[in-house]
Amino acid sequence: MSDENAPWLIAGLGNPGPEYAMNRHNVGFMVADLLARRMGAKFKRATKGQAQVVEGRIGPPGPANRRVILAKPMSFMNVSGGPVTALRDFYKVPVSHIVAVHDELDIDYGVLRLKLGGGDNGHNGLKSITKAMGPDYHRVRFGIGRPPGRMQVADFVLKDFSSGERKELDYFVDRAADAVEALVTEGLERAQSSYNS
């Protein structure tokens, strides 16, 4: 199978369990859930790897329509690499067709940045994926801003979005899902020109 026709693996990063559901660190799960709803599908437990998975298609009918596997690793954020690698191998996805959707401290709240490769910027989910398969996968980085005052980063990312942030959260998650779809169907450069604010 050529890379062009290979499926895409979109991994929304987060932590499993209801106590983490609205944490800033779980915005990748929120985007994956919205993409699944757009496909009219529900996540199910994967047979290979510790993740919940939805298989479907993204894009208009015709050549831009892409087969995708949406995944939410159920292994906790800092060991996301194992489930993502298992899914990559099971579905035979080239690294160039892997997208990690994750929270990003160094970007203002709600701002998106799409890129290919690069460092992990201290993000434990990315660190784990990069250790497992190298850095050459796509990232959709969802800005959550820096912690206020002297709050520790670990405390900040594991707190729920504030009531002020929640007013705009649905809009920003919707925009991030649009950006993922654009990346998969139109390519990185066109998606960046539309969504990198």
Please identify every residue annotated as catalytic: 25
157 Cβ contact partners less than 8 Å away, ≥ 6 residues apart: 23, 24, 25, 103, 105, 144
Name, in order, each residue with C-beta under 8 angstroms of 103's C-beta and a sequence gap of 6 or more.
13, 24, 25, 26, 27, 28, 123, 142, 144, 157
Tokens matching residue 171:
């809009």
C-beta of residue 27 within 8 angstroms of C-beta of residue 142: yes
